[in-house]
Amino acid sequence: AQSVTQLDSHVSVSEGTPVLLRCNYSSSYSPSLFWYVQHPNKGLQLLLKYTSAATLVKGINGFEAEFKKSETSFHLTKPSAHMSDAAEYFCVVTPGITGFQKLVFGTGTRLLVSP
Amino acid sequence: KAGVTQTPRYLIKTRGQQVTLSCSPISGHRSVSWYQQTPGQGLQFLFEYFSETQRNKGNFPGRFSGRQFSNSRSEMNVSTLELGDSALYLCASSVSGDRLETQYFGPGTRLLVL
């Protein structure tokens, strides 16, 4: 079965410093991977997705992620954190062989950004 | 284009009651999925509907059910509520539910069971 593991439950950074949120996946097949963000009292918003095209994926708000098959990782990065980035981030996998979407979420990483 | 809307936004019920939550997808989207979010279990897939048919189902008891109407609006129902059903219920829509599509989420319905 496909799954994702988010290695950190909380990450704290200072504004203007780089962000790294780590995600490892487990999949018997070529997965589709996503990063979603959830701000307090709001729904989930897609940041970026990997669907077996380019391994370096650029998303919204300056975020990007790199798919590394050899490391089974899909870490999310941003060069410079902004206060508005404070939120919960979810790494998500969807099975690579079925036609229909069924998102499997990681446990989430809460990003804290201090001034 | 209007986003995914969910009603009501907040709900308080007591154990044993039943509840119906509603989701209106983005215009043109025919796939609607439901997810439950709790602090203990995280985000879990409930079920997915397309053209009024349930195509996918998660590991939830039969007390959780849903349906989809011809206009793609969807409802989910939870019968005989338990304390553990307290959660944020999120609805998401996409054009056809293909695994490569982006799912757009609504703001959720927060259910509190007392």
Mean pLDDT of the A83-97 span: 88
Mean pLDDT of the A78-104 span: 86
Chain A stretch 59-98, residues whose beta carbon is closer than 8 A to a beta carbon of chain B: 90, 94-96, 98
Rg for chain A (alpha carbons), in Å? 14
Provide the shortest C-alpha distance from residue B42 to chain A (in Å): 6
Nearest chain B residue to A98 by CA distance is: B99
- List the Cα angle B76/B58/B107 in 5-degree steps: 50
Mean pLDDT of the A15-23 span: 98
CA distance B72 to A77: 36
Provide the shortest C-alpha distance from residue B87 to chain A (in Å): 13
Mean pLDDT of the A72-85 span: 96
Q: Which residues are registered as beta bridge partners of B47?
A: B34, B57
User: In the predicted model, is pLDDT for residue A92 greater than 70?
Assistant: yes
pLDDT for residue A17? 98
pLDDT for residue A2? 81
pLDDT for residue A99? 61
Nearest chain B residue to A109 by CA distance is: B42
Q: A32 and B58 in contact by Cβ < 8 A?
A: no
Q: Which of A83-92, A97-106, B41-50 has the lowest mean pLDDT?
A: A97-106
- List the Cα angle A91/B31/B45 in 5-degree steps: 40
Q: Across chain A, what does the average pLDDT equal?
A: 91
pLDDT for residue B12? 98
> Which residue of A36, A97, A102 to mutate against B (max B Cβ within 10 Å)?
A102
Give pLDDT < 50 ranges for chain B: none
